[in-house]
Amino acid sequence: MDALIAKLSKTDQKRAKKVVIELMQQTQVLVKHDIGDWRAAWQMAINHERPSRSRLYSIYADATVDMHLSGCIEQRKGMVMQKAFRLCDKSKKENTEVSELFEAGWFKDFMNLVLDSRYWGHSLIELGEVVEIEGQKRFEYARLVPRHHVIPEYGVIIKEASDEPQKGMSYQNGGLAYWCIEAGGPGDLGLLLKAAPQTISKRHTIAFWDQFSELFGMPIRIGKTSSRNPQDLDKIERALLNMGAAGFGLLPEGTTIEFVESTRGDAFNVYDKRIDRANSEISKGILGQTMTIDNGSSHTQSEVHLEVLRNLVSADADFLRDIINGKLLPLMLHHGFPMKGLIFEWDESVDYKPTEMQLIEQMLLTNYEIDPVYFAEKYNIPITGKRERFEPQLSKGFFD
């Protein structure tokens, strides 16, 4: 918060220091959640008079530990993050110098945080000071303003997570508006709202399965003896406790040891099937389908499922592009970046397979004059000139 206040004018700084000096962040307490906690947290988040998302964010943080959910999120985000982009003028001509300004860590962090808002809901992103590195201007960082301290319905940042909205400082008006960017609408609670019940049920099911394994997974060891001697009883007890790899015991005459196997064999259907169903529900909610992350047996079906995922990725890419063009570029122009007349767009050039690219290049070389620079840059091979063709000269009268 000190960094944000330092960016304000003297008037705004004076006001900001009265409202909030620093965010009083507290260590998040890890507690066990159930569906009742999720529903109560959801109710608190949509409270009209005094909305609070703190409990809901705690459940979200707990949900993201689930490896299947995190895998789905990373698959969807990764397909957007790997897309090529460019900064172009109105004639669609790329400005390579400006495009290079975005090949920096702060911009990748910015894109990552914007995409996170699809899952967490409304996110407020703070941009750092404008610095110059190797002759290029850039923001020092792009980082998330802690969600517990943001009330998007009122457009304010609060010092303590329990503060009322009236005590907060606006980030939509005044100096902070030039250093903060919102991703997602004020009432957006994100896809984790739908995914959290599945992760809660899945976690409980795994815990119950562990208890089942502890109770019924190992045979019960029973020692029988007619001896009443305490020393003999201690011997038998130690033998039972120490039974493991190559375990043995010297026991009194008349002692027998039995192993009683459990007859309960339905654990797989009861527990594993519920875990599978939770995973498939998570896949449908985040990826719109299941086959791109789960096993699929049909190539045709997997192609259909992949097309569904591509549609979601395309929507995410459009969402990110609109925020960059509508919010980030105007803010950068305000801070002196050379963004006038430029727009951000994705490079939708078709990616060809090596064999396809080879055929295309052969066709172009056969019919057109190609600048050697293209091949020199693509294959990183210096081309010094065109090689003359060798044509053998035949002596006169050879065929006479």
Domain extent listing, the chain: 2-194+312-346, 218-261, 350-388
Closest C-alpha to 186, from 143, 228, 153? 153
Beta bridge partners of 180: 126
Q: Say which residues have a Cβ less than 8 Å from residue 296's Cβ, sequence separation at least 6.
A: 290, 302, 305
Segments of the chain assigned E as strands: 85-88, 123-127, 130-133, 136-139, 142-144, 150-151, 156-157, 169-170, 180-183, 220-224, 256-260, 343-346
Those residues with Cβ within 8 angstroms of residue 204's Cβ, 6 or more apart along the chain or in another chain? 34
What is the full DSSP assignment across 352-366? PPHHHHHHHHHHHHH
Which amino acid appears at position 227 of this protein?
S
What confidence score (pLDDT) does residue 21 get? 38
pLDDT tens-place string over residues 137-169: 889 999 999 999 999 999 999 888 888 888 888
CB proximity list for 52: less than 8 A, separation 6 or greater: 44, 45, 161
For residue 260, the model assigns a pLDDT of 58
pLDDT of residue 231: 77
The answer to whether 1 touches 23, Cβ cutoff 8 Å, is yes
Take residue 279 and report the two structure tokens written for it.
């995973």
Contact yes or no for 147/120 (Cβ under 8 A): yes
Question: Tokens standing for 33?
Answer: 């959640």
Per-residue pLDDT of the chain (400 residues; tens, 9 = 90+): 555 556 555 555 544 443 343 555 555 555 678 899 999 999 999 998 889 999 999 999 999 999 999 999 999 999 999 998 999 988 888 888 888 889 889 999 999 999 999 999 999 999 988 888 877 888 999 999 999 999 999 999 988 888 888 888 888 887 788 899 999 999 999 999 999 999 999 998 888 887 777 666 666 666 667 677 787 777 777 776 776 654 555 456 566 666 555 555 566 777 888 889 999 999 999 988 777 676 655 555 667 777 888 899 999 999 999 999 999 999 999 998 989 999 999 987 666 667 777 888 888 888 888 887 777 767 767 877 777 665 556 555 555 5
Cα–Cα distance for residue pair 329/384, rounded to 1 Å: 41
The Cα 338–Cα 158 span in angstroms is: 34
Report the DSSP beta bridge partners of residue 130: 139
pLDDT score, position 74:
94
CB 252 within 8 A of CB 231: no
Q: How far is CA 32 from CA 42, 166, 194, 339, in A?
A: 16, 32, 18, 49
Residue 209: phi, psi to the nearest 5? Answer: -65, -40
Amino acid identity of residue 244, one-letter, is G
Beta-bridge partners for 223: 257
Beta bridge partners, 181, equal: 125
C-alpha torsion sign, points 76, 77, 78, 84: positive
Instruction: Return the pLDDT at 379.
Output: 72
Beta bridge partners of residue 85, listed in sequence order: 346
CA–CA separation, 114 and 316 (whole Å): 9
Reported pTM: 0.74
C-alpha Rg value of the chain to the nearest Å: 32
User: What are the phi and psi torsion angles at 207 (to 5°)?
Assistant: -65, -40
What pLDDT is recorded for position 343? Answer: 93
DSSP state of 186: T
DSSP-based three-state secondary structure for 8: coil
State how far the alpha carbon of 77 is from the alpha carbons of 144, 147, 343, in Å.
17, 20, 22
